[in-house]
Structure 1
């Protein structure tokens, strides 16, 4: 990692937005899905299989994308996304052109669509969330929002320019979107600001004197001994190598020593550990002799050096004997770890100094502290916090994606239920895709700054945005199932109006899009705060695997509802030679599905409230202990 300049950050930000725009093709699926199934003679009951295939690529394989980004970098991920997107839409183009009824081949293409999409999208979000830490929610909101807006832009452009020619649509997606993702191969990089901060840097200055020329710390020595030790105990044991030059009592120059706090011996996101057992949290990491937590330094008597401060001198001349395991402190040999602890206690002046050192130093740090940040991956996955987040995201993800994939069939059902209206099905489908994309864009765009404002200005939790998404989803699930009448809304008194069922579906698309946008606009920043940014892509990829199951469940419910009502005589004889393969009872065709989604989203909202209340109580307890500890000093 290198320190960036302003131009590099701007290029990375623009490139992230362009990549996200090119990666947003999954939201166009409902634009061409009915025509694709009709052309390739695939029954509507198999529509859930195609939805599942795309979710398989974007959710289950998203975990692999996260590993690639965290281990290798976003540029390789963008290249894989480019290749996958090109191959995917070429297969769809070929199948549509030749009317191939190959369900598994089309499903494979949709897997590649989903995989190529998240390759670019995850890389863009990772760069924005990492390179702009002070405005994480706002910076990540832009690529997240454009990812959702892509569906509206593509559907509007394809409807206007190609006039419903799906074959040309596939050609455009194959070339145009692949090139936009390919831009990320040159612009997306992970940068890191390296600054010599007081908590991360130790300024060692040599002061030669007549009695031995011992090295002393600059400034007030008594205060600096304690502050330096506080900095040291939070560093990994391997950092002792950085200070190895301090073991001699003389030096010829004064130079700053940078000790970086973003790596530790048990840090799961170290590039050396990715792919090993330690990355997953299995295996034992040696504790320090004082049983300090993993966020502190580790101690091993077999190592040639140990990171322990000298008490006899103002130096860090510390060495451990590999043969005897004894410890030399300031030139003296200690016979037991108890003596070491006593020396350290005298240095700090507090018998419980370890807990004080590793605890937050300010009220803001207490407020922002997360007990699951930078833990080993396996510990994160089994934590109750991650499990709750996983369930909530899976529920909202499944409902939102089901509606996005199925809105084309909802439009077809409504048009078949109201034959008196001579409306163009492709135009209404394009309208719904545009509405969903625009609403999701606005939801994602607003969720980032809103969640930042909740945290910074009101000291509230980002999870309130997630709760809002749950309630919107629950209410919309009830609204869309209402019986649709034959009335129409007169526009401007011209006598030309919009049928009520089109208005109802459009309003539902707005609300579902907003809820979906709020969910995915809030979750990235929430995960970065809760679990850290070093392994953000890996954790995010794992978190989205829940959608793999819920999208399949809800899509199957929807498809079975339509098929059940169409086959068991729920629809009357259409006459005029029309077929009986489409349900014709309006909202009743899918009422059962949306009753279930209402219950599921309401349950997710209740779980979110429980998490908010639990976090609130824990935070109050930490603030109380912090004030009591500092008031007694």
Structure 2
């Protein structure tokens, strides 16, 4: 899109970082699905397994968007993927808005397709923004990345507040608002997020020359951002071509670690509405006093907000902590990931207990579940934000967006497996009441899921520690 450069205002590192915030906010609306997801499922007559297919479709879209958007970003620069995101997200939400209004007449495949387009648009511009801030701030890339990534995380909180305070739970109007606001915020990215790719039709233009210089500076500075004992190995990885990079054992280790950690975090984010619903109906079924009980929708919105706040805090913490580990303590960024996995283990371990039996008061039980949402949200944000910086340190910046997109695509198998397990166990304990599937067994609706995930988290922790030890050796 170099032909429109002359008509756009000038940009620079600070403007790129600032513009990445609304782009990330728009991209992060994908996770506000947890707020309206159960209402969408009820309106369109979906059980929890069918609703899980919408989650998976969106995740497949994010992976494909990350891969294609990453390739285009590396080759041609950032503007094309950001513009494509503008189109896909706006179209996806407008289509979902139309399908919601159709109710039971909405076709399942159309719902899946709409969520796919939303996912597709969410990562194209998001990953382009990540590369733009990475090459704009090569010395403190993790800190710069954390601002963009944290904005992505806080999006669901801001939009859930709009959903409850402005639209008062009106899903139809809210979906239309998502379409309109996403268009405006992605447009800001099209205007200001402009970093060159390897191959441009106007190589002599000052902007593209500056973009290439930023890439070269980022490449050289990344080589300094690793402990001394690892510099030789990392230097050799940076000279690998794309094919050699993605079949290298170090890449594969990070791919599978990312798959499991993303699956653990996103499965809870997408499923927390059903967890709250199970405890809520379990309490109503077992208690004769249902007076002064908060509404299910308000409880679901509370947990989405808590996850968003603490994921935001985890992401903001991760960047500066990661940079300090490298520059001040000469340690690997992976130690921040280890900390995040330990916190994640605590959250999943607590969910493997029947927390609704700890009190006969729904408010007290909800406090316990709220604490768990805070723990998992913070751990997810802390873990996820370490990976972009790690991949930038290890591999060539020329292929950064595509390499990161491939790593991020590991979310698909991770989330697919965990949401299917959750959906199977949840549906196995549910009964059809009217047109809605309801599980009134409380925490026993999902307990087995988190017993399994707790064990997997321990395995991830062991693999990380072994990797760190071998790298030091």
> Same fold by TM (over 0.5)?
yes
**Mapping 1:280-359, distance limit 5 Å:** none
Aligned position for 2:259: 394
Aligned position for 2:354: 483
Q: How far has the Cα of 1:436 moved from its partner? A: 0.7
Give 1:18's match in structure 2, choosing from 2, 19, 22: 22
State how far apart, in whole Å, the 2-side matches of 1:448 and 1:580 are: 43
Conserved? CA contact 1:562–1:582, under 8 Å: no
SS at match of 1:460: coil
Q: How far has the Cα of 1:191 moved from its partner? A: 6.8
Aligned position for 1:376: 241
Aligned position for 1:444: 315
Inter-CA distance 366–610: structure 2 relative to 1 (3 Å threshold): closer
- Bigger Rg over Cα: 1
Cα deviation 1:141-197 (Å, max 9, x = unaligned)? 1000010000001001211000000011101100001210111111002279xxxxx
Q: How far has the Cα of 1:477 moved from its partner? A: 1.1
- Is 1:543 the equivalent of 2:407? yes
Task: Identify which of structures 1 and 2 has the higher relative contact order when contacts are C-alpha pairs closer than 8 Å and 6+ apart.
Answer: 2
State how far apart, in whole Å, the 2-side matches of 1:367 and 1:550 are: 29
**Structure 1, gaps ≥5 residues long:** 193-259, 264-268, 270-359, 490-496, 572-576, 618-633
Aligned position for 1:461: 332
State how far apart, in whole Å, the 2-side matches of 1:261 and 1:16 are: 17
Inter-CA distance 261–182: structure 2 relative to 1 (3 Å threshold): closer
Inter-CA distance 8–488: structure 2 relative to 1 (3 Å threshold): same
State how far apart, in whole Å, the 1-side matches of 2:240 and 2:371 are: 43
State how far apart, in whole Å, the 2-side matches of 1:139 and 1:361 are: 17
Give the number of aligned pairs.
Answer: 440
Q: How far has the Cα of 1:481 moved from its partner? A: 2.6
- Is 1:523 the equivalent of 2:387? yes
State how far apart, in whole Å, the 1-side matches of 2:337 and 2:151 are: 20
Give 1:116's match in structure 2, choosing from 106, 121, 124: 121
Cα deviation 1:100-132 (Å, max 9, x = unaligned)? 331110001111111111012111111111110
Aligned position for 2:462: 606
Conserved? CA contact 2:58–2:118, under 8 Å: yes
State how far apart, in whole Å, the 1-side matches of 2:224 and 2:29 are: 46
Aligned position for 1:559: 423
- Is 1:590 the equivalent of 2:446? yes
SS at match of 1:581: strand
Cα RMSD of the aligned pairs, angstroms, is: 2.8
State how far apart, in whole Å, the 1-side matches of 2:396 and 2:313 are: 26
Inter-CA distance 612–361: structure 2 relative to 1 (3 Å threshold): closer
**Structure 2, gaps ≥5 residues long:** 198-212
**Mapping 1:177-196, distance limit 5 Å:** 177-190=182-195
Aligned position for 2:76: 72
Q: How far has the Cα of 1:30 moved from its partner? A: 0.7
State how far apart, in whole Å, the 1-side matches of 2:135 and 2:396 are: 10
SS at match of 1:45: helix
Conserved? CA contact 1:22–1:180, under 8 Å: yes
Cα deviation 1:494-516 (Å, max 9, x = unaligned)? xxx86222112211211111111
**Mapping 1:202-241, distance limit 5 Å:** none
SS at match of 1:183: helix
SS at match of 2:438: coil
Conserved? CA contact 2:227–2:330, under 8 Å: no
State how far apart, in whole Å, the 1-side matches of 2:166 and 2:40 are: 19
